[in-house]
Amino acid sequence: MHEVSSETTRLVDLVLDYSRRRMLSSDTPLDKPSTEADLARLAGRTIDERGIGAGRALSLFEHVLAPACITTDHPQYLSFIPTAPTKAAIAFDLVVSASALYGGSWLEGAGAVYAENEVLAWLANEFRLPATAGGVFVQGGTLGNLSALVAAREHARATLHEAGTDAPGRWKVVCSAEAHSSIASAARVMDVDVVPVAPGEDGMLRGDAVRAALEEHGASVFAVVATSGSTNFGIVDDIASIAALKDEHDFWLHVDGAYGLAAMLSPLARDRFAGVERADSVIVDPHKWLFAPFDACALIYRDPETGRRAHTQHAEYLDTLTETSEWSPSDYAAHLTRRPRGLPLWFSLATHGAAAYRDAITHSLQLAQDIAREIASRDGFRLVREPQLSVVVFEREGWTKADYDRWSARLLDEQRAFVTPSSHAGRTNTRFAIVNPTTTFEHLVAILDTMA
């Protein structure tokens, strides 16, 4: 299996040929899930003692397994938050795997870590964080949020210890009641309490509401989480008014920008993110709106040393790594082994330049505004909220959840689009989540026409 032979040469050629065809395809179908029974019938048993061979395995993947997975970079994939990796990023993801790179320590992956850190520094600068900011690429936003909050609690513990003050009986994190579910998940893992604060009618969390929570819960609050681009609506909290509370209260400000913080690259949205520059930590997912393949989340600390103190693992076999001052990415999050998942983004940025990214993000923002106006102009449609970023939520008047479900299923069955129902305040709706630069106004209008 590990030798270079005629068999492995043919195997590599097969895989690279498929990858080339897939990456350069201009008409990849949307596809849809199959039932387990159908997959069992079509794929059968694929693992046995003798193996079925590379040709057979790849054929099953190409013709049976892959078509049972929805194509997330399809221009009419508009549910959840899609992905839209550049061809450069996809191609370089192959290089990362082919190069046997380890991205956990400077000792083992200095070149990879250097390139990843250049991307993190560029992002930190875009977010107006100090030049000393830094961090690490982790698997996704859930792990990024968890790692940031662990660092926040450790920082709070150290601060109280230095002051000779006892720690509270229960630590608490304050966030919007509409914050991403990963915040509650992180709190469960950490065994801390969440203090949900009601946002305004427009969905934005503001400083006055956060102040009331801080005054009520006092020193037990170790962190406040502001959302910059909620998944359901793309709403950006009033980060500036929340950050201003740091002048009165001692807390760690974390900005969850998994989806939306990338919009800071566009002049159309940059002003919405005032206050991010005061954050103690931020996250953004390149596999969402920065056009990288799954999976990558950039976690950036204002003071990276706070992350290092919280997350460095100690063991005899790790001493050679932890006793140096070199930058080892494993020290900055709740992980140890890691692939250098920031390299595909680095290669694409280095290839195309930041201006191409700004233009692509601006396209999505403008398209959201254009289709929102179209929806508002149509009889029988109701725009639930004006879009702040690139998520457009709307209702078809008179439709029940069953109507939305049937419509969504028909769209996918007919391979027109992947648009799923959502809801807000007990009312069913649907939404366009637009991040793919190849999605057009005509695509979206054609989907609206199917709701007539």
Q: Both 395 and 258 in a single domain?
A: no
Half-sphere exposure of 353 (CA within 13 A, CB side): 3
**Distance in angstroms (rounded) separating the CA atoms of residues 77 and 46:** 30
Amino acid 323: pLDDT: 74
**Distance in angstroms (rounded) separating the CA atoms of residues 438 and 265:** 19
Give 194's strand partners: 173
Q: Which residues contact 108 (CB under 8 A, 6 or more apart)?
A: 102
Amino acid 316: pLDDT: 63
Q: What secondary structure letter does DSSP report for 63?
A: I
Angle at 8 between CA 7 and CA 12, to 5 degrees: 125
The residue among 310, 336, 352 that closes a domain is 352
Q: Both 338 and 249 in a single domain?
A: yes
The residue count for the chain:
452
One-letter amino acid for residue 62 of the chain: E
**Domain-located, residue 408:** yes
- pTM exceeds 0.75: yes
Q: Both 363 and 331 in a single domain?
A: no
Q: Both 339 and 359 in a single domain?
A: no
Structure tokens at 29: 């179908």
Q: Both 210 and 333 in a single domain?
A: yes
CB 276 within 8 A of CB 255: yes
Q: Both 321 and 372 in a single domain?
A: no
Q: Which residues contact 53 (CB under 8 A, 6 or more apart)?
A: none
Q: Which CATH number goes with the domain that contains 386?
A: 3.90.1150.10
**How many folded domains does the chain comprise?**
3
**Distance in angstroms (rounded) separating the CA atoms of residues 119 and 342:** 8
Q: Both 61 and 198 in a single domain?
A: no
Q: Both 15 and 113 in a single domain?
A: no
Q: Both 380 and 325 in a single domain?
A: no
**Domain-located, residue 19:** yes
**Domain-located, residue 198:** yes
The residue among 352, 369, 391 that closes a domain is 352
Amino acid 324: pLDDT: 76
Q: Which CATH number goes with the domain that contains 255?
A: 3.40.640.10
**Distance in angstroms (rounded) separating the CA atoms of residues 338 and 143:** 13
**Domain-located, residue 309:** yes
Of residues 29, 92, 36, 27, the one with CA closest to residue 66: 29
| 33, 34, 42, 50, 125 from 38: Cα distances, Å | 10, 6, 6, 25, 50
Q: Both 140 and 168 in a single domain?
A: yes
Angle, to 10 degrees, between the axis of helix 441-449 and the axis of helix 354-377? 30
**Domain-located, residue 86:** no
Residue by residue, pLDDT tens for the chain (452 residues) are 999 999 999 999 999 999 999 999 999 999 999 999 999 999 999 999 999 999 999 999 999 999 999 999 999 999 999 999 999 999 999 999 999 999 999 999 999 999 999 999 999 999 999 999 999 999 999 999 999 999 999 999 999 999 999 999 999 999 999 999 999 999 999 999 999 999 999 999 999 999 999 999 999 999 999 999 999 999 999 999 999 999 999 999 999 999 999 999 999 999 999 999 999 999 999 999 999 999 999 999 999 999 999 999 987 667 666 777 799 999 999 999 999 999 999 999 999 999 999 999 999 999 999 999 999 999 999 999 999 999 999 999 999 999 999 999 999 999 999 999 999 999 999 999 999 999 999 999 999 999 99
Of residues 298, 203, 301, the one with CA closest to residue 259: 298
Q: What secondary structure letter does DSSP report for 183?
A: H
Q: Both 178 and 323 in a single domain?
A: yes
The residue among 54, 69, 84 that closes a domain is 69
**Domain-located, residue 83:** no
Range of the domain at 24: 1-30+33-69
Amino acid 325: pLDDT: 75
φ, ψ at 298 (rounded to 5°): -90, 115
Q: Both 416 and 275 in a single domain?
A: no
Helix (H) or strand (E) segment spanning residue 156: helix 141-162
Angle at 252 between CA 132 and CA 135, to 5 degrees: 35
